[in-house]
Amino acid sequence: MAMPIETARSASSARDFLLAKQEGRKLSMITCYDYAFARLLQMTEMDAILVGDSVAMVVHGRPSTIHADISMMRLHTEAVARGAKDKFIVADMPFLSYRKGVAAALDAAQTLMSAGAHALKLEGVSGHEDVIQRLVESGIPVMGHLGLQPQSVHAYGGFRVQGKTDDSAQDILRQAVELEQLGVFGVVLECIPAKLACEITHALRIPTIGIGAGAACDGQILVLQDMLGMNVDFRPKFARRFFEGARSIVNAVESFDAAVKAGEFPSLEESYR
Ligand code: KIV
């Protein structure tokens, strides 16, 4: 149930994520990219908002997340932070921003934290362990992202479920343990078999946040526009629609169009005297 802004309850720090796992409370996360939706999410009990690099696809119509860069992420993080003043905001480190050495990654991190993020998420671990460690040591809460890593879409040859073979499953588990050792406060598990996500969840003290990773994860995340049913072309099995947004919005706009063309809008009450 939605609550007034003043009383909405939700996690407000990385520490709350760890506490939630210890206390067996499920965590809820959702993506957001703009001020208008952020104001609505502010009125909910969602634990955290992710300004995901999926913004490149969902908002800008690009074919993958590799088209999100630091200026795009900064713009959208600022807008979300203005709208959801009391929410815990995680921002995605965009493609390659954490693969060019520690100094460049710290610059990118500074940009996003100054834009209003409270934590940063980045994909994978191999080859940027030093970056993760330095961010954590710098007091920046870091969230990991394993399984399907959308920034590696071209290496996979498409958006494919990961961890289906024993070897790849063991590798994802190993990376999750390594991320925990490096000090991340949570890890997104995207599109992996539910059994593997369950095993990882039990192996870690930090919470797992699933998307297409089954019910055993400590929390769940969905892309806001998928959850609202706004994307007619995209319907993966994990993206439950909690609203038929596309139909409702198209119907509303069609009603406006019809009212204008019938000369029925605006009415006298909707006009100034
Ligand atoms: O960018 C994004 O939307 C994400 C979620 C799919 C977890 O990383």
66-86 pLDDT, tens digit per residue, is 999 999 999 999 999 999 999
Q: Is 221 in the pocket of ligand 1 (CB under 6 A)?
A: yes
Q: Is 54 in the pocket of ligand 1 (CB under 6 A)?
A: yes
Residue 39 near residue 83 (C-beta atoms within 8 A): yes
The reply to whether 244 belongs to the active site is: no
Q: How far apart are CA 119 and CA 130, in angstroms?
A: 17
Whole-number Å distance, alpha carbon 267 to ligand 1 midpoint, is: 44
Mean per-residue pLDDT of the chain: 95
Residue 195 near residue 213 (C-beta atoms within 8 A): no
Q: How far apart are CA 114 and CA 111, in angstroms?
A: 5
Which three-class secondary structure state does DSSP give residue 167?
A: helix
Q: pLDDT exceeding 70 applies to what percent of the chain?
A: 97
User: Does position 61 have pLDDT exceeding 70, yes or no?
Assistant: yes
Residue 29, beta-bridge partner list: 48, 221
pTM: 0.95
Burial 9-25 (b: 16+ CB within 10 A, else e): ebbeebebbbebbeeee
168-193 pLDDT, tens digit per residue, is 999 999 999 999 999 999 999 999 99
Q: Which amino acid is at 148?
A: L
Q: Is 226 in the pocket of ligand 1 (CB under 6 A)?
A: no
214-263 pLDDT, tens digit per residue, is 999 999 999 999 999 998 888 899 999 999 999 999 999 999 999 999 99
* Nearest to 92, CA basis, from 118, 67, 120: 120
Q: Which residue has the CA at smallest separation from atom 8 of ligand 1?
A: 52
Whole-number Å distance, alpha carbon 53 to ligand 1 midpoint, is: 7
Residues sharing a CB contact under 8 Å with residue 102, sequence separation 6 or more, in sequence order: 130, 131, 134
